[in-house]
């Protein structure tokens, strides 16, 4: 299913912010906003709900903790008990560094993979078109999905860009 996207490019984030606020006030439905770098406060202006990625990260981390502790405990007390330096089989302090590492590893890898899947990036994504190459360089973009829109609505969306300090307005089918 291809989409007909109407998008405007801005030169800096200040004009972008005021344009987003104006679009929100006019009740326009923003498809997405693209920026070349993370812009602080953008999620507040766009009224996005808080990301749940960190909750997933906590779960992955806890999974890493349990995996590390579980495997080490099983190996060193049941499967192949060896005495190291006169310490007991279950030597918790010796397990801590590896538990820490696996917690970080699970949380980091899990969050990156989740992020890719949620964003439709990486080898899992079938189709990932780019609206404009300059979005990854120095342009800030507000995009509207205008697929199957009536002429009146289309007028409303196009005229929104007037007087918002936009540098350029384009339409693209993706």
Partner 1 sequence: MEQQFTFTGKQKTFFLGLMALGAICLALTYLGDTTPHHERFWTNFLHNSVFFTGISFIGLYWLAAHTIGYSGWHIGFKRVVEAMTLFLPIGLLLLLVMIVGLYGGFHHLYHWAADGITDPNSANYDKIIAGKSALLNKGTYTGVTVIVLLVWAAIAWMMRRHSLAEDKEGGLKRYKSMKLWAAVLLPVGAFSSAFCIWLWIMSIDSHWYSTMFAWYTSASWLVSAMCILTLIIIYLRSQGYMGHLNKHHLHDLGKYVFAFSIFWTYVWFSQFMLIWYANVGEETVYFNNRMKHFPVLFYGNIIINFLLPFFVLMRNTTKWKVGSLTFICIFVLFGHWLDFFQMIKPSIWAGLKHHAHEAGHHGAEISDFMMGFHFPGLLEVGTFLGFLGLFLYFVFAQMAKASLVPVNDPYLYESLHHHA
Minimum separation from the CB atom of position 36 to partner 1 (A) = 18
Minimum gap (Å) between residue 169 Cβ and partner 1: 29
x/- letters, 102..141, toward partner 1 (CB under 8 A): ----------------------------------------
Give the end-to-end CA distance of the chain in Å, rounded to a whole number: 9
Q: Kindly identify the residues of this chain, within the stretch 37-76, that bind partner 1 according to CB under 8 A.
A: 40-41, 54, 58
Please calculate the CA angle 85-88-89 and round it to the nearest 5 degrees: 105
Interface residue with partner 1, options 88, 97, 120, 129 (CB under 8 A):
97
Q: Does 88 bind partner 1 (CB under 8 A)?
A: no
Task: Find, among 11, 56, 13, the residue nearest to 38 by Cα.
Answer: 13
Q: Which is nearer to partner 1, 28 or 94 (CB)?
A: 94
Answer for which of 62, 75, 96, 125 binds partner 1 (CB under 8 A) is 96
Which are the contacts of 87, defined by CB distance < 8 A and separation ≥ 6? 94
Euclidean distance between CA atoms 127 and 146, whole angstroms: 19
Q: 3-state DSSP call for residue 50?
A: coil
Which stretch, 85-93, 113-121, 132-140, 148-156, contacts partner 1 (CB under 8 A)?
85-93
State how far the Cα of 141 lies from the Cα of 42, in Å rounded to an integer: 12
Q: Which residues of 5-30 are buried (b: 16+ CB within 10 A; e: fewer)?
A: bbbbbbeebeebbebbeebeeeeeee
Residue 31 interacts with partner 1 (CB under 8 A)? no
Nearer Cβ to partner 1, position 54 or 128? 54
Contacting positions for partner 1 (CB under 8 A):
40-41, 54, 58, 85-86, 93-94, 96-97
């Amino acid at each position: 299913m291809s989409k007909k996207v109407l998008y405007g490019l801005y030169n800096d984030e200040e004009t972008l912010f005021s344009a987003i606020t104006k679009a929100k006030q006019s009740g326009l439905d923003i498809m997405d906003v693209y920026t070349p770098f993370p812009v602080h406060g953008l999620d507040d202006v766009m009224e996005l709900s808080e990301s749940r990625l960190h909750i997933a990260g906590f779960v992955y981390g806890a999974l890493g903790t349990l995996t590390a502790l579980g495997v080490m405990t099983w190996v060193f007390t049941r499967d192949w008990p060896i005495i190291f330096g006169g310490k007991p089989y279950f030597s918790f302090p010796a397990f801590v560094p590896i538990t820490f590492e696996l917690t970080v590893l699970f949380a980091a890898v899990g969050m990156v993979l989740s992020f890719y899947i949620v964003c439709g990036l990486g080898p899992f994504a079938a189709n990932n078109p780019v609206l404009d190459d300059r979005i990854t360089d120095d342009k800030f973009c507000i995009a509207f999905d205008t697929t199957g829109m009536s002429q009146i609505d289309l007028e409303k969306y196009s005229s929104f860009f007037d007087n918002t300090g936009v540098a350029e307005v384009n339409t693209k089918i993706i």
